[in-house]
Amino acid sequence: MPVHVVDHPLVRHKLGLLRQDGLSTKDFRQLSNEIARLLTYEATKDLDTDKRIIQGWAGDVEVDNIHGKTLTVVPILRAGLGMIDGVLDMIPGAKTSVVGFYRNEETLQPVEYYVKLAKNIDSRMALILDPMLATGGTLMATIQLLKDAGCKQIRGLFLVAAPEGLERLEKEHPDVDVYVASVDERLNEVGYILPGLGDAGDKIFGTK
């Protein structure tokens, strides 16, 4: 499972701004989307393109073209929605597949409550969006759901990941590539990433 830490000055700078306590909802959302754009750039670096001839201002010109029906973007509700605008800025034609899970308080397992996948998902690369890869429970459930639907190529885009979540992903789904702005130190006793960002969902939606 290659982990691509997108080590770019813009990403490091924006992530530094995002870690600032007391940031406004507007700034948190804007920075999350700006980083998501840069992660998308890296995560789509190896997409196949076709050549085609178009009519340019001075006659025929050969241009590159990404195949149709190539991608689906998969935000995990609700925090994943905080990255979707940035990703779709870069790939506006991508279809969006939305998934939502809640945690069963007895079994502690994620239970799906909303799933709406793009058509032809078996022939698309899925880009899962979640700002935080913490314990990885919801991510594992999302990957399994996508694989059960026939999806063969899956990548995950995260703002921040914990080593514990990455280790679990490596064990359970070594075929899934990860694009992340930072791998942080560790999880605290209640599953928050340190130094992390705090509750990303609350910060994106202004619910705290």
Contact 152, 161 (CB under 8 A): no
Whether the CA torsion 191, 195, 198, 203 is positive or negative: it is negative
Q: How far is the CB of 171 from ligand URA (least distance, A)?
A: 19
Closest CA to 2 of 174, 141, 154, 205: 174
Distance CA 140, CA 156 (A): 11
Q: How far is the CB of 180 from ligand URA (least distance, A)?
A: 13
Regarding beta strands 98-103 and 193-194, do their DSSP bridges make them parallel or antiparallel, or are they unpaired? unpaired
193 among annotated binding-site residues:
yes
Give me the count of residues in the chain: 208
Burial of 181 from C-beta contacts in 10 A (0-12 / 13-18 / 19+): buried
Q: Which three-class secondary structure state does DSSP give residue 179?
A: strand
Stretch that binds ligand URA, among 4-12, 19-27, 90-98, 185-193 (CB under 6 A): 185-193
Stretch that binds ligand URA, among 83-91, 121-129, 145-153, 197-205 (CB under 6 A): 197-205
Given candidates 30, 183, 192, 205, which one binds ligand URA under the rule CB under 6 A? 192
Q: How far is the CB of 92 from ligand URA (least distance, A)?
A: 27
Closest CA to 86 of 44, 34, 159: 34
Given candidates 134, 146, 166, 169, which one binds ligand URA under the rule CB under 6 A? 134
Closest CA to 85 of 208, 206, 204: 204
200 touches ligand URA by CB under 6 A: yes
* DSSP secondary structure letter of residue 201: H
- Of 70 and 182, which has the nearer Cβ to ligand URA? 182
Given candidates 6, 83, 132, 161, which one binds ligand URA under the rule CB under 6 A? 132
Task: Please name the residues in contact with 158: beta carbons below 8 A apart, sequence gap of 6 or more.
Answer: 39, 130, 131, 132, 133, 178, 179, 180, 181
Q: How far is the CB of 198 from ligand URA (least distance, A)?
A: 6
Given candidates 3, 23, 199, 205, which one binds ligand URA under the rule CB under 6 A? 199
- Binding residues for ligand URA restricted to 30-89, rule: CB under 6 A: 79
Q: Which residues are annotated as a binding site for 5-phospho-alpha-D-ribose 1-diphosphate?
A: 78, 103, 130-138, 199
Chain contacts with ligand URA (rule: CB under 6 A): 79, 132, 134, 191-193, 196, 199-201
Q: Which residues are annotated as a binding site for uracil?
A: 193, 198-200
